[in-house]
Structure 1
Amino acid sequence: MAKVTVRYWAAAKAAAGVAEDAFDAATLAEALDAVRARHPGELERVLRRCSFLVDGDPVGTRGHETVRLADGGTVEVLPPFAGG
């Protein structure tokens, strides 16, 4: 298991009530499961619309269970942004 930091932005930050959390997870799917367990409710709905960066790289359409996390890594949770 990797120790990772999950950072929340905009609506995700508001729904989580914190700017970031630390989790032990081997994959992005495991990290997001831990996020949902820690912050049930509104954040779960927000996550459905989010995109994710893992250590600065966009996850895109890859399956979250295939995205491995590195120890000390960072997952950025990015809700859709309005404007341009």
Structure 2
Amino acid sequence: MVEHRGLVAWSTILHVSEQLPRGDVNENDVTVHYWASARAAAGVAEEHVPAGTLAELLTEISTRHRARDRFDDVIATCSILVGDTPVGAREPATIALHAGDTVEFLPPFAGG
């Protein structure tokens, strides 16, 4: 007689793991990466934010980190990339974000 307990256990674990909460990650979220002084100002290296435009994302992260000293000042000096594309001087409200996008905040670096 062949036992299939391993298969049953695996399917049970898979079913239960699909039910577990995923923290603050939502399937519509954008992943935000903070580098160097932006990371220090935010107090985290990465977070997930629901946003349809870069303007919405900027408002949300400002709200999340308003209690942290200098967060808005540091973010204002950062270069912003959506994926691999620099935002430059474009209006944040015109930059669409999609679920799964990555937004990088890169503060000015000394040296070269």
TMscore range, shorter length: over 0.9
Q: CA deviation at 1:42?
A: 1.4
Give matches, 1:8-19, under 5 Å: 8-19=34-45
Structure 1 runs of 4+ aligned residues shifted over 3 Å read: none
- Residues 1:74 and 2:97 are matched in the alignment: no
| Structure exhibiting the larger radius of gyration computed from Cα positions | 2
Question: Normalising by the residue count of structure 1, what TM-score does the alignment of the two structures yield?
Answer: 0.94
Greater helix proportion = 2
Question: Normalising by the residue count of structure 2, what TM-score does the alignment of the two structures yield?
Answer: 0.71
Identity of aligned residues (%): 53
Q: CA deviation at 1:83?
A: 0.4
Q: In structure 2, which of residues 51, 54, 59 is the aligned counterpart of residue 28 of structure 1?
A: 54
Note the residue ranges of structure 1 that are not aligned, 5 or more in a row. Answer: none
Question: Residue 31 of structure 2: SS of its match in structure 1?
Answer: strand
Q: Which amino acid aligns with 2:51?
A: A
- Say which structure, 1 or 2, has more relative contact order (CA 8 Å, 6+ apart): 1
